[in-house]
Amino acid sequence: METATRIYFHGIEETEHDRASITAHIADLEQHFGRITACHITVTAPSKHHRDGGIFLVHIRLALPDGREVNVDRSPSADERHADLPFAINDAFHRARRQLQDHVRELQGQIKTNRARPQI
C-alpha cells in the first residue's frame, strides 16, 4: 500500500483487539488484491438514544490505481447481528472482498458491462 491505512473510531473506545482485527483483514485484502493504494476505515458506534442498543456501522474506502475506488458504505438493514462489533467488521470486509473480486473480473473482461445501444 502506498499510503498508511487510516482507521477512525467514532463514539467508541478503540481497543487493540479491534485494531488488530481490522489490520488483519486489510492484510488479507492486500495479499489477494495487491494493487490497493490507500485504505480508510471508519467504525461508528450505535447511537446512545436507542432503547435497545443499535448497530455498528463500518465504512471502508479502498483506492486503486488509475483513480478507481471501492466504497463499502452500505448501511446494514436492521439486522441485530450488527450490534456485535466483530461481526460488523467481518461483514464489511466480506463485502469489500466481494466488490474487489467483481472489480478484478470486470478488468479481466469476465463480466460484461452494460453499455447503452447506439441510437439510430
Domain boundaries, the chain: 1-76
| Rounded Cα distance, 93 and 85, in Å | 12
pLDDT of residue 55: 85
Q: How many CB atoms are located within 10 Å of the residue 57 CB?
A: 19
Residue 23 parent element (H or E): helix 16-32
| Rounded Cα distance, 54 and 40, in Å | 23
pLDDT of residue 109: 72
pLDDT of residue 68: 83
pLDDT of residue 113: 59
Q: What is the CATH number of domain 1-76?
A: 3.30.160.100
Give the pLDDT mean for 54-68.
87
Q: If you average pLDDT over every residue of the chain, what do you get?
A: 83
